[in-house]
Amino acid sequence: MATSIIQLLPDHVANQIAAGEVVQRPASVVKELMENAIDAKATDIKLIVKDAGKTLIQVIDNGQGMSVTDARLCFERHATSKIRHAEDLFDLHTKGFRGEALASIAAIAHVELKTKQDQEELGTHIIIEGSKFVTQDVAVLPKGTSFLVKNLFFNIPARRNFLKSDTVEMRHIFDEFQRIALAHPNIYFTLIHNGSEVFNLPSSNYRQRIVNVFGGKTNEKLVPISEETEIIQISGFIGKPEFAKKSRSEQFFFVNDRFIKNGYLHHAIMSAYDGLLREGNQPSYFLYLTVPPHTIDINIHPTKTEVKFDDEQALYAILRAAVKHSLGQFNVAPVLDFERDATLDTPYDYKDKEIGSPLIQVDANFNPFATETPVKKASFKTYSDGFSKRENSASWESLYVDLRQDTEEVASISFESEPVTSKLFDDSANENTFSRTYQIHKKYIVSSIKSGMLVIDQNKAHQRILYEQFLTNITVQQASSQQLLFPLELYFSHEEMAFVKELQPSLESTGFVFGTNGNDNIQISGIPIHIQESEVGIVFEELIAQLQNELPENNFSLFDGVAKSMAKSIAVKTGTYLTELEQENLVNSLFACKEPNVSPFNKPTFITISVEDIDKKFTI
């Protein structure tokens, strides 16, 4: 008889495998616990995090709480209070409904649960370590629930090694916290990281919640949007085109108070902004969509950030039209109006005033047909200076006589001429007259070399030059800076401010001098000599956008990323005219670099064309 090779997995192993689907990183735990608190009808939720969630994640709420039985049962797999039948999956009004979150979290961490219902005198205190119940006691507790998750992945070292740096993991926690806080402005949210308060968001309306999350300057960027149809209700805000950024960090779709990502609907927004944005820029939007629950399927993605709509094409058209309408209604987009001209409107100050006749001065003695007495011919000096008023001649024929005689006088003046050499081009004059470099289409610099000619891409070459300069300055920490007469103030969101503070030592090494002036702005008093004051905001925006996508793991990667981003932002752009001296300086600086062949992003900076290749073009 053959032995069986298929066995049932023990519960603790099954829970660890399930945890891999539910809990990828600390931010996953934050999402699950905060959503449970919202489902418990909490009005005050506090999130406490240490070491980006690796050491501690605690969510405290004032919700309904749980009974003793529910407190024990919630850690079992597929245990949920949200659904009863499979049909309920298509009529969801809650967040967490899988019944696996708490079981998965308890399988890979030390969990401490404190909960109490309002009508009960005493609450329940449970401690679990790796799916094993350690203690369960009765305790005096306030109404609500406190989930404390310590030492994430303590029993799976391999998973813990895959976690990124604290900066990266904290950024993901910021993302989850922001998404939930923006979806529920009626709830008081607090976020504390390593003992310092990062967010304090009191209960408010949608607009005030957006401003509290992204900083005070956000208010002037927002344009309200509102549309209601039979299949969808749209509300929220879109950003003015002039405040568009390189990054997509301020783009939020909420469907029935749940954050989602949807490329199709994003395309509808972009098409509405068509012609209003600079190339590569992304608009901000905070859109709250309300649809009947049975018209969407939430359960198509493990993280529930993607949903499937019944009629996506109709939603696309409605959303695009609503955005265009708001942009036009609030005079953000240009509008063509052929019926009236605003320049013809009467100002309010002149509306009731009488129209006065204009004052006209007329010379009554002026007669254009009166003959004038001929005068002597004007001298050459008077004729040549152009400002002396010339007296009129007796007749029109005398004008030509004067002109002919004046020309004869001019011809009689002798000038000192240079001696004519016998050679057509003198060697010394040839060297001074002809430049060694030429600019083609304000994009390429051409220079002759012994074997043929060199064609240099001015943008990529300048990137290489600046990159090595910045990298040297950051490493040696000796960069020259130009002081600003008036400090420059820049505003950022909370997430971007945390990023700027981490980049501050590297940026100061390149020549920036700045300090923080609150939770959402910095004051810059000095900038590198390569940058103009008008470019500083663009440099910071592009730097944050580029490094947000690839957050470095160590200091060298951080320095390298800063140097690359700044070089790309500041380098001379295609279409910029360069003088002969600037061209020669660029060529000389390029070949003084350690790696002149490629740009910081591994693109070639120049190509060579040999004389033989040119000769082949002329052969028949």
Residues 73 and 45 in one domain: yes
Location of structure tokens 């949920």: 80
User: Does the residue 112 lie in any domain?
Assistant: yes
Residues 460 and 522 in one domain: yes
Higher-pLDDT residue of 209, 303: 209
User: Does the residue 365 lie in any domain?
Assistant: no
User: Does the residue 376 lie in any domain?
Assistant: no
d(CA 459, CA 559): 21
Residues 20 and 166 in one domain: yes
Residues 72 and 152 in one domain: yes
What is the per-residue pLDDT across 143-169, written as a single tens digit (0 to 9) for each? 999 999 999 988 888 888 888 888 888
Q: Which of 170, 201, 232 is the last residue of a domain?
A: 201
User: Does the residue 88 lie in any domain?
Assistant: yes
Which of 29, 13, 12, 14 lies closest to 163, judged by CA?
29
Contact criterion met (CB below 8 Å) for 568 and 463: yes
Residues 137 and 78 in one domain: yes
Residues 44 and 139 in one domain: yes
Residues 580 and 525 in one domain: yes
What length does the chain have?
A: 620
Q: Which of 297, 329, 361 is the last residue of a domain?
A: 329
Q: What is the CATH number of the domain that holds 49?
A: 3.30.565.10
DSSP label of 51: G
pLDDT for residue 233: 92
User: Does the residue 238 lie in any domain?
Assistant: yes
Residues 66 and 18 in one domain: yes
Does the pLDDT value for residue 275 go beyond 60? yes
What is the per-residue pLDDT across 563-611, written as a single tens digit (0 to 9) for each? 887 888 888 888 888 888 888 889 889 989 988 999 988 899 999 998 8
User: Does the residue 367 lie in any domain?
Assistant: no
Location of structure tokens 């380098």: 571
Does the pLDDT value for residue 390 go beyond 90? no
In the chain the first and final C-alpha atoms are separated, in Å, by 85
User: Does the residue 117 lie in any domain?
Assistant: yes
Domain count, the chain: 3
Mean pLDDT, residues 320-334 taken together: 81
pLDDT for residue 428: 42
Q: Can you give the residue range of the structural domain that contains 505?
A: 440-607
pLDDT for residue 477: 63
What is the per-residue pLDDT across 278-288, written as a single tens digit (0 to 9) for each? 877 889 999 99
Higher-pLDDT residue of 65, 370: 65
Q: What is the CATH number of the domain that holds 453?
A: 3.30.1370.100
pLDDT for residue 543: 77
Residues 39 and 179 in one domain: yes
Q: Which two tokens stand for residue 541?
A: 């925006």
Residues 213 and 196 in one domain: no
Contact criterion met (CB below 8 Å) for 28 and 22: yes
Q: Which of 277, 295, 329 is the last residue of a domain?
A: 329
Residues 173 and 263 in one domain: no
Q: What is the CATH number of the domain that holds 241?
A: 3.30.230.10
| Gyration radius of the chain's alpha carbons | 37
Does the pLDDT value for residue 45 go beyond 90? yes
pLDDT for residue 606: 92
Residues 188 and 317 in one domain: no
Mean pLDDT, residues 342-347 taken together: 59
Does the pLDDT value for residue 59 go beyond 70? yes
User: Does the residue 354 lie in any domain?
Assistant: no
